[in-house]
Amino acid sequence: MIATLIGIVSSLMTILIFSFLKRFDKNTLYGLILMGIAFLYIGYTWTNIEVAIISFLQALFFLVFAYFGINKNAYFLVAGYFLHGIWDLVYPFFGSPDLLPPDYDYFCLTYDFIVAIYLFIINYKKSHNQ
């Protein structure tokens, strides 16, 4: 429960802080975070080579979404965050949950879904106001 609450607060703080950074490209900022959260799994799992390889592959997968979200279409970021939340749910079937911090899945899932919803809303509004 606390991990979920921290995920909610962290995502809302990220959104709030980025809303004040007018000079920065929001897609770049959110893309960098998406890459960072994907690559965190490698840092957590490096002690188990098989799981680290899986973590590396998922990081590359989300790197592609971040790249296209930054350079092509922001909806790739929406999809990337949403899919990373799904990854947090299914990770125990592919990896070793004991390598992650306690309740990391709840924190990250909450963070990812809130950011995905926010990015969807702002991009939907932006595309329909033109």
What whole-number percentage of the chain has pLDDT above 70? 99
Question: Rounded distance, CA 10 to CA 128, Å?
Answer: 28
Tell me the CA distances in angstroms from 83 to 21, 48, 94, one per residue in order: 26, 24, 15
SS3 46: coil
Does this model's pTM top 0.85? My answer is: yes
Q: Tens digits of per-residue pLDDT, 96-122?
A: 889 999 989 899 999 999 999 999 999
Q: Tens digits of per-residue pLDDT, 15-48?
A: 898 888 888 889 999 999 999 999 999 999 999 9
Question: Rounded distance, CA 95 to CA 98, Å?
Answer: 9
